[in-house]
Amino acid sequence: MKKGNKMFTIGVIGAGHVGLVTAACLAKLGHYVLCADNDEDKIKKLKKLVMPFYEPGLEEIVEHQYKKGNLLFTDSVKEVSEKCDVIFIAVGTPSTPDGSADLSYVENVTVEIARALCAFKERKKENIYRLIVEKSTVPVLTGQWVKKTFQLIGPTGIEFDIAANPEFLREGSAIKDFLEPDRVVVGVENERARKIFEHIYSKIKAPIVFTDVKSAELIKHASNCFLALKISYINAISQICERVGADIEKVAEGMGYDRRIGKDFLKAGIGWGGSCFPKDVAAFIKLAEEIGYPFNLLKEAQQINKQQRLLVIKKAKELLWNLKGKKISILGLSFKPNTDDIRESPAIEIIEMLLKEGSLIKSYDPKAMDNMRRIFPDIEYCNDAYECVKDTSLLILLTEWEEFRKLDFEKIKRLMESPNIIDGRNYLDKEKLKSIGFNYRGIGRN
Ligand SMILES: NC(=O)c1ccc[n+]([C@@H]2O[C@H](COP(=O)([O-])OP(=O)(O)OC[C@H]3O[C@@H](n4cnc5c(N)ncnc54)[C@H](O)[C@@H]3O)[C@@H](O)[C@H]2O)c1
């Protein structure tokens, strides 16, 4: 690993949606980065410049930085521990069955780094310093555990600091979010660590919020849960709209101009999903419970979210009466556009419910069909939206991919057995569809 005139080398452990983007972007910012993953196949492919998932713009940066020698890949955490001064931990923190965050991946990596450094210090007699950074989303107090674990294994003679640098990128716009964030949050224990982060992010033009480690950990959970609450709030309002015949899109527009409220995350639909919100809300509820605070506000947000999925089935029944034996086309499988990620995608729950009702599912998604095939091998996957809607009696739009807005709906009407649409994202031109002759059902606007 070259160090050249750089202050230090950076290691990133976990080459997933956050780790790989972090590694690629840090290399683009001018650092030497070694990215590790214990998935050997993933690393082999990355060395051949084959990306493990779809993220716009990622492949170009990885290719460029890899060829320049600024970004390297390894399947060895030991190698990262030995060669890198700053080590970002970006492994998964999924939900356990009781909702709490499964921190075993973070623990395993911490143990691996500490053990590797013990052995390394035996061979190297010089002073060694390591800055261990939590990049994964973790509950508050995880930093303390990482520190204790490190101290227990006790690589003597090695100085280290623990820091929290939560990530706020969104899949689909991850590169831009990383390089042009609203803010960077960094929790540090001392001036030494703070100086390193000032250097790492010196080219990023955004405020850096320096805090203690616990506050940084909390900022991430508090932010994600706030955004989930905001979506659940507008979904609750959409229910009121449906009952009185108001239009949620107009209500949200009227609310959103108020700068205290803001337009973002004020979109009614089939509810939040993805790899972050569901698990982060569940983990925050659990953590609050453990420290003696019943977070009922978040529990209610979860309930509202569940209702939004059920609403799709209710609307389908209103349009088709019985769902048994009915052919239904699903446009959009990923949890949001511009990604092939289907983790906790609303499409999974909705397809499951439709299959239980006995419906026959045809589906199409520009990027996520290979991933969905692993969960539902027996539903039909189509080459395009037109093939998907053919002979179906209901079209349900679940992901707002741009290409769906550009579809020829006159043609779609001709292809379908009966012209019924549920627009789960309020994404389509309602008036146009109605004028073509569709029975249109949105969320909070009919
Ligand atoms: N995906 C997002 O949009 C997003 C955004 C912000 C924060 N986060 C948080 O970032 C963290 C990572 O999320 P992700 O979406 O990148 O997960 P991911 O599942 O895409 O990637 C995790 C990677 O870690 C690797 N890994 C696991 N154990 C390992 C070990 N012992 N050694 C080496 N590699 C190991 C896995 O093989 C995998 O490639 C989570 O805490 C998540 O909540 C995710």
| pLDDT confidence band for 392 (50 / 70 / 90) | very high
Tens digits of per-residue pLDDT, 46-75? 999 999 999 999 999 999 999 999 999 999
Decide which of 182, 211, 240 is a domain's last residue: 211
Residue type, 192: R
Q: Same structural domain for residues 401 and 303?
A: yes
Residue 91 has pLDDT above 90, yes or no: yes
Q: Using most ligand atoms within 8 A of CB, pick from 37, 91, 95, 173 the residue to mutate for ligand 1.
A: 91
Last residue of a domain, one of 191, 211, 231: 211
CA-angle at 178, arms to 16 and 201, nearest 5°: 115
Ligand 1, atom 37, residue with closest C-alpha: 39
- Residue 17: CB within 6 Å of ligand 1? yes
Does residue 169 line the site of ligand 1, with CB under 6 A? yes
pLDDT grade, residue 28 (50/70/90)? very high
Average pLDDT, whole number, for the chain?
A: 96
pLDDT bracket for residue 4 (50, 70, 90): low
In a domain, 156, yes or no: yes
Question: What average pLDDT score do residues 108-129 get?
Answer: 90
Is there an atom of ligand 1 within 6 Å of 266 CB?
A: no
207 and 227 in a single domain? The answer is no
> Nearest Cα to 129, choosing from 188, 90, 163, 84?
84
* Distance from the alpha carbon of residue 120 to the mean position of ligand 1, in angstroms: 26
From 25, 35, 276, 382, the catalytic residue:
276
Q: Is 84 a catalytic residue?
A: no
- Residue 216 domain-assigned (yes or no): no
The predicted structure's pLDDT at residue 3: 57
CA 40, CA 15: separation in Å to the nearest integer? 11
The whole-number average pLDDT for the span 295-313 is: 98
Strand 208-211 and strand 327-331: the pairing is unpaired
- Does position 261 have pLDDT exceeding 70, yes or no? yes
Residue 365: band (very low, low, confident or very high) from pLDDT cuts 50, 70, 90: very high
pLDDT digits (tens, 9 = 90+) for 403-439: 999 999 999 999 999 999 999 999 999 999 999 999 9
Query: How many structural domains is the chain composed of?
Result: 2
Q: Are residues 356 and 407 in the same domain?
A: yes
Cβ–Cβ < 8 Å for 113, 133: no
* Whether residue 5 has pLDDT greater than 80: no
Are 433 and 421 in contact by the 8 Å Cβ rule? The answer is yes
The alpha carbon of 256 and the centre of ligand 1 are apart by a number of angstroms equal to: 33
The answer to whether residues 207 and 289 belong to one domain is: no
We report the CATH number of the domain holding residue 422 as 3.40.50.720
Of ligand 1's listed atoms, the one at least distance from the Cα of 112 is 31
Q: Is residue 218 domain-resident? A: no
Residue 388 in any domain: the answer is yes
Cross-strand bridge partners of residue 89: 13, 134
> Closest ligand 1 atom to the C-alpha of 105?
28
**Residue 373 within a domain:** yes
CA of 412 to the centre of ligand 1 (A): 39
Q: Scanning the structure block, which residue is given the tokens 């529990």?
A: 299
| Pair 389, 363: CB distance under 8 Å | no
In a domain, 1, yes or no: no
Give the pLDDT confidence score for residue 177 in this predicted structure.
98
Do both 268 and 387 map to the same domain?
A: yes
Is residue 262 located within the same domain as residue 159?
no
23 in ligand 1 pocket by Cβ < 6 Å? no
pLDDT at 157: 81
Q: Is the CB of 14 under 6 A from ligand 1?
A: yes
% the chain with pLDDT above 90:
94
Residues 154, 267: one domain? no
Nearest residue by C-alpha to atom 36 in ligand 1 = 14
pLDDT band at 6 (very low <50, low <70, confident <90, very high): low
Two tokens at 378? Answer: 């027996």
Q: Are residues 148 and 270 in the same domain?
A: no
First to last CA, the chain: 60
| CA of residue 16 to ligand 1 center, whole Å | 5
pLDDT tops 90 at residue 127: no
CB-ligand 1 contact for 423 (6 Å cutoff) = no
Residues 269 and 376 in one domain: yes
User: Among 211, 240, 258, where does a domain finish?
Assistant: 211
Residue 60, domain extent = 9-211
Asked if 316 and 178 sit in the same domain, the reply is: no
What is the distance in A from the centroid of ligand 1 to the CA of 330? 29
Residue 358 pLDDT exceeds 80: yes
Helices 296-320 and 213-244: angle between axes, nearest 10 degrees: 40
Cβ of residue 82 lying under 6 Å from some atom of ligand 1:
no
Binding site membership of 167 for ligand 1 (Cβ less than 6 Å): yes
pLDDT at 210 over 90: yes
